[in-house]
């Protein structure tokens, strides 16, 4: 028995769009905030493959066991690995799994088990490739596959789908804590491996932040990134992320403005962290600032007390008092995305 898709088999990806497309050919799914994964089962062997074609199985042993427990002996599922945490989805817990020590991974897999949210079926339980079929047929086959094999398995779930544009807009507006937008897929298309043949519409948000510090660029004495802070409930300024989207022409003036405000401690609560596997000695150094500068930034997701990605600097806000820059701006006002799976 062997699968008809040769590994690595790159997943179909999405390009960014400004708005949700409409029309009878479109179907909509939540955009989950996890690790994209193709799950291959061939008899007693399971492979988990990342978006870039790298193996993931060693980092998620509980998910391998969960997929082996399905009665279907062969299949290829496309989906997203997430880790439920306190009713939401924790990307921070996912990052902790990418660890060199097997003992650490095993411990985390028991304390915070992952799950695969499946949204496409590329090889069915009979070993037949569905990649050349239109999405409408693949999704119908996935629904049938899930009904036959997912019941009672807490490590595998079926991602919701809708043709109703208003329902998709509802997800876009109200679902947070693990959803950061909507994916639109043309139901008439086959699975186009490695191509950006879908659309992703991300729910971008803005927040006013105190600039609690900055880092110089790796070369020279110009600013490289702003270190952003928000006040917590105890009135302490927590470091919550960074923004490096400063126009080159503006950097000399911005650097001069920042250097005039250098004053410790900068952050009175959680401060910028130390070295990581990706950082250099220079990149971990930062200059603390008096809490006087406020800027507005655009972000796509906030979790674990920080912006998940770098933010986009929109403008300076001299009209805003630093004390107004609180965590309440990014407090979750939405339902858990896990409710969609109920």
Using DSSP's 3-state secondary structure scheme, residue 166 falls into helix
pLDDT in tens, 244-271: 999 999 999 999 999 999 999 999 999 9
Q: Domains of the chain: which residue ranges? A: 13-203, 205-328
User: Topology of 13-203 in CATH?
Assistant: D-amino Acid Aminotransferase; Chain A, domain 1 (3.30.470)
205-328 CATH? 2.40.50.140
Using DSSP's 3-state secondary structure scheme, residue 96 falls into helix
**Which residues is 215 bridged to in the sheet?**
225
pLDDT for 309 equals 81
Q: CB-side exposure of 40: number of CA atoms within 13 Å? A: 23
pLDDT for 200 equals 94
Show the tokens assigned to 100: 């060199």
Residue 190: pLDDT over 70: yes
107 classed as catalytic: no
pLDDT in tens, 113-160: 999 999 999 999 999 999 999 999 999 999 999 999 999 899 999 999
Structure pTM? Answer: 0.79
pLDDT for 334 equals 63
Q: Which of 31, 71, 185, 195 is catalytic?
A: 31
């Amino acid at each position: 028995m062997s699968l008809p898709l040769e590994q690595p088999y790159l997943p179909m990806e999405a390009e960014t769009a400004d708005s949700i497309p409409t029309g009878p050919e479109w179907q909509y799914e939540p955009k989950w905030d996890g690790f994209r994964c193709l799950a291959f089962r061939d008899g007693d062997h399971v492979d988990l493959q990342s978006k870039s074609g790298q193996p993931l199985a060693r980092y998620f042993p509980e998910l391998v066991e969960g997929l082996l427990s399905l009665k279907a002996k062969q299949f290829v599922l496309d989906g997203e690995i997430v880790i439920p945490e306190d009713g939401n989805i924790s990307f921070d817990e996912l990052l902790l799994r990418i660890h060199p020590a097997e003992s650490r991974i095993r411990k985390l897999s028991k304390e915070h088990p992952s799950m695969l949210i499946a949204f496409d079926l590329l090889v069915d339980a009979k070993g037949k490739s569905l990649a050349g079929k239109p999405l409408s047929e693949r999704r119908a086959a996935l629904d049938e596959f899930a009904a036959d094999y997912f019941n009672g398995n807490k490590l595998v779930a079926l991602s919701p789908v809708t043709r109703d544009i208003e329902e998709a807009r509802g997800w876009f507006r109200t679902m947070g804590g693990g959803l950061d937008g909507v994916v639109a897929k043309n139901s008439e298309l086959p699975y186009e491996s490695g191509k950006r043949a879908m659309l992703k519409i991300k729910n971008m948000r803005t927040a006013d932040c105190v600039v609690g510090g900055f880092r110089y660029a790796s070369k020279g004495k110009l600013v490289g990134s702003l270190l952003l802070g928000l006040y917590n409930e105890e009135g302490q300024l927590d470091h919550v992320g960074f923004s490096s989207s400063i126009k080159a022409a503006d950097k000399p003036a911005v650097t001069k403005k920042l250097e005039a405000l250098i004053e410790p401690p900068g952050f009175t609560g959680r401060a910028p962290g130390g070295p990581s596997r990706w950082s250099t000695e220079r990149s971990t150094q930062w200059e603390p600032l008096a809490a006087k500068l406020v800027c507005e930034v655009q972000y796509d997701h906030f979790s674990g007390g920080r912006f998940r990605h770098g933010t986009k600097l929109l403008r300076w806000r001299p009209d805003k008092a630093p004390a107004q820059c609180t965590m309440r701006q990014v407090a979750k006002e939405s339902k858990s995305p896990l409710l969609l799976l109920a």
